[in-house]
Amino acid sequence: MSDFDHGKALAATATPIPGLVVLDLPVPGDNRGWFKENWQREKMLPLGVPDFGPVQNNISFNDAAGTTRGIHAEPWDKYVSVAAGRIFGAWVDLRDGATFGAVFTAEIDPSRAVFVPRGVGNAYQTLEAGTAYTYLVNDHWSPDATYTFLNLADETVAIDWPIALDSVEISAKDRAHPRLADVTPMGPRRTLVLGAGGQLGRALREVLPDAEFADRAAFDLTDPAAWSSRRWRDYGTIVNAAAYTAVDRAETPEGRAAAWAVNVTAVAELARVATANGITLVHVSSDYVFDGSRDPHREDEPLAPLGVYGQTKAAGDALVSTVPRHYLVRTSWVIGDGANFVRTMASLAERGVDPSVVDDQVGRLTFAEDLAAGIAHLLATGAPFGTYHLSNSGEPASWAAIAKRVFALVGADPERVTGVTTEAYFAGKAAAPRPLRSTLDLGKLAATGFVPRDQLDALEAHLRR
């Protein structure tokens, strides 16, 4: 058998470079040779190796000892090992951040492997003739991708190569790569916010300042050409704040088609893109996926939408739930920058109009800045993927009770607001059915460390602004 440790147990060890992981691999053998599971997803994920979704397996055969290949950082993850021989491996963090320039080196034989995250430079020097270096990658080479390189002889990182660089085989390109001081660090995968012109989209600008924001003019979800307009591997997160929300119009033939196009067909494309490219998909849904028969609504409640809008949102929920990395965020009664219920009630109060407002629909307001902050919290903390309910907290109230509160806060008599039933309010009108109970259970969200403001406190702050 070959001269290395065949009796190792599968184990993973962290390194000084964040995300760079060294794995010890069992390599049983006998007089015939040896066998190993070089990549074994089911066993390695519990050790903390990311589920990086490799799409290509490459082998680099090196005829002579001392062959040295340069420090290359690509915009994808790699999993490297050797099938035969030995290497001296060197890794340099070339990502933008506090660990830029950090170095890790190790000798690798068939019983070891290294997971190399995106943006970490990877190089090796063969220590034996006939070395076969193998690597799995989770993207294909592209002329449109961004690559980063570092000179093998850089004095700053000062890699202690076992064989002097002036006496080994190195390509002319690798000899010409820049020193660390001249390297442009590789930035992180980008965040894309769709629906940037809406109430939530505008609020997300405050909590995700480095994201790319696209309104409908920049990215029309219903345009097939939009989906081929970007190199999706460059994105790490998509926040879908776009939706068709004209609840009553969705009940018309034209509205039904438009609602399904945005809330279902486009979401199916988002789910496909996110799954294929390892993207975290944040999708905002609605209390309208429920029939309002339970109070409060939990994340695992069976969906039972009453109208077309709710049906399209429920269908979108089902699609998003198939994405491996997803946050499905259901919310209710959103109030933000723009036309909304609170602004309407304040205007009526100031103009001397005495409104009739439904008093049998009960729930909580969700202020857009709290919804945005909750989404940012889930992303920043790496909360477990899945479905979360997110509204403001506090005692549930009816629309009429909220209207009365608005009147009082702007100095008007709250008794000017008259409560009516939903049936009476919509009598003789073409309207979609509404859930009468919209209160969302916030316990799962609170367990991640995020508790939104009380809705009445948030309402008062909103009106002060």
Q: What is the pLDDT of residues 350-370, one digit of tens each?
A: 999 999 999 999 999 999 999
User: Cβ-count burial of 327 within 10 angstroms (0-12 exposed, 13-18 middle, 19+ buried)?
Assistant: buried
Q: In angstroms, rounded to a whole number, what is the distance separating the alpha carbons of residues 391 and 413?
A: 28
Phi, psi of 182 (to 5 degrees): -105, 5
Please, what sign has the CA dihedral across residues 93, 385, 437, 259? Answer: positive
Give me the pLDDT at residue 2, please.
Answer: 64
**Structure-derived torsion over alpha carbons of residues 162, 166, 170, 175, reported in degrees to the nearest 10:** 110
Residue 433 has pLDDT above 60, yes or no: yes
Average pLDDT over residues 295-320: 97
pLDDT band for 261, please (50, 70, 90 cuts).
very high
Mean pLDDT in the chain? 95
H helix runs in 182-286, sequence order = 199-207, 253-260, 266-277
Q: Count Cβ neighbours within 10 Å for each residue of 52-67 and write b for 16 or more, e otherwise.
A: bebeeeeebebeebbb
Give the domains, in start order, of the chain with CATH numbers.
11-182 (2.60.120.10), 190-464 (3.40.50.720)
Is residue 135 part of the annotated active site? The answer reads yes
- What angle in degrees, to the nearest 10, is found between the helix axes of 253-260 and 308-320? 10
Average pLDDT over residues 55-73: 93
- The residue from 79, 124, 133, 135 that is catalytic is 135
pLDDT band for 76, please (50, 70, 90 cuts).
very high
Residue 305 tokens read as 């939408």
pTM above 0.85, yes or no: yes
Q: In angstroms, rounded to a whole number, what is the distance separating the alpha carbons of residues 4 and 219?
A: 54
Q: What is the pLDDT of residues 10-22, one digit of tens each?
A: 999 999 999 999 9
Average pLDDT over residues 424-445: 94
Residue 1 has pLDDT above 70, yes or no: no
Q: What is the pLDDT of residues 119-130, one digit of tens each?
A: 999 999 999 999
